[in-house]
Structure 1
Amino acid sequence: MKIGTIETERLILRKLIPSDDEAMFLLDNNQNVHRYLGNKPVTSIEESREYINNIQIQYIQNGVGRFAVILKETNEFIGWAGLKFITEPVNERQNFYDIGYRFIEDYWGKGYGQEAAKAWLDYGFNQLKIQKICAYADIENKGSRKILEKIGLQQISEFDDEGTACVWLELTKTDYLK
């Protein structure tokens, strides 16, 4: 299935493109953004370009991937959000759809993460016909966990991800449609 753009009240979600490289670097070069992501911010714009390229490959291979989040009001890139089909094992699971998001720090706390994630849940369940959407987050990342819980994901378990204590959350299509 070919995904175009998704619009919400305040956001446009579209595929990442090479010209997003500078904004992606601004996002992923920030120490605070990477606080719960292993504290490994990117150090060169080349890393951001490679990341965008890898996501573009996911669009082709899996029909889905992380999308740029554009603020309608200003046409600014403020982060990314979307579904990713994960094929490598995580928490003794593999071949699952993961919902995720990451925003430039200036845009934290404004509801954009929840708005984008909710749009992706709707798209995943209703357009892509996915039966279950999962997520995992550092147990200390209260902001991300709050978004996931607000959009309806339920914590299933806690697990160790390469030395980091994480929570595992899931939402089935049946529960979403209730």
Structure 2
Amino acid sequence: MIETERLILRNWREGDADLFHLHTNTPAVMRWLGGVKSREALREVSERLARWQAERGFTLWVVERKEDGAFLGFCGLKIADDPHGSIKGEYEVGWRFREDSWGQGYAREAATSSLDHAFDRLGAERVYAITFNQNEASWGLMRRLGMRRREDLDYDDPRFPDLNPTIIYEIEKKDWRR
């Protein structure tokens, strides 16, 4: 578990898949993720994230607001696993937050503590993040985190032909918190 000033990043547990579906499976949240998914598809995602925690000791953790315990979404770390991607096998930071929590700094707060974890606890030398060029909010956060664009690593993901290319941002340990 990771605590920040306003948030708790924790492992997945029973009932989280339903909250995940309820709060993040909306047209606005899923706009850059292939659209709204079935309940079963999101259950598989939450089960995979719980498995990563058990196997690797990190995942895209559930993010709760300390004030009221509200499920806000997820944020954390994974090993990039897109078979078409240019960063396969590298640490990747990611997030997905419910729409009514946008613009309040939660994603930045959670992503900052996730990057701290990657560099301080996991010994990562660099961490990547991916999005699409059209998703300005996402790459805007990447920039605010100090990440830099790596156009040389951009790639086309066949799952998202209308959104390509997938764009890559990177931050190295030496540049984190300088």
Q: Using structure 1 for the length normalisation, give the TM-score.
A: 0.90
- Residue 32 of structure 1: aligned partner: 28
1:70 lines up with 2:64 in the alignment: yes
| Contiguous gaps of at least 5 residues in structure 2 | none
Alignment of 1:1-178 (within 5 A): 5-39=1-35, 41-44=36-39, 46-157=40-151, 158-162=154-158, 163=161, 164-178=164-178
Q: What secondary structure is seen at the aligned counterpart in 2 of 1:9?
A: coil
| Contiguous gaps of at least 5 residues in structure 1 | none
Kindly report structure 1 stretches of 4+ aligned residues shifted beyond 3 Å. Answer: 87-91
Between the two proteins, what is the percent identity of the paired residues? Answer: 32
Q: Deviations over 1:63-102 (max 9, x none)?
A: 2111000001111111100001123434333111110000
Contact 2:86 2:155 in 1 (8 A): no
Q: Using structure 2 for the length normalisation, give the TM-score.
A: 0.90
Q: What secondary structure is seen at the aligned counterpart in 1 of 2:140?
A: helix
Superposed CA RMSD in Å reads 1.5
Contact 1:82 1:117 in 2 (8 A): yes
Distance 1:95 1:47, change over 3 A: same
Contact 1:17 1:52 in 2 (8 A): no
- For residue 10 of structure 1, report the CA deviation from its aligned partner: 0.6
Q: What secondary structure is seen at the aligned counterpart in 1 of 2:156?
A: strand
Distance 1:161 1:48, change over 3 A: closer
Q: Which amino acid aligns with 1:160?
A: D
Contact 1:26 1:104 in 2 (8 A): no
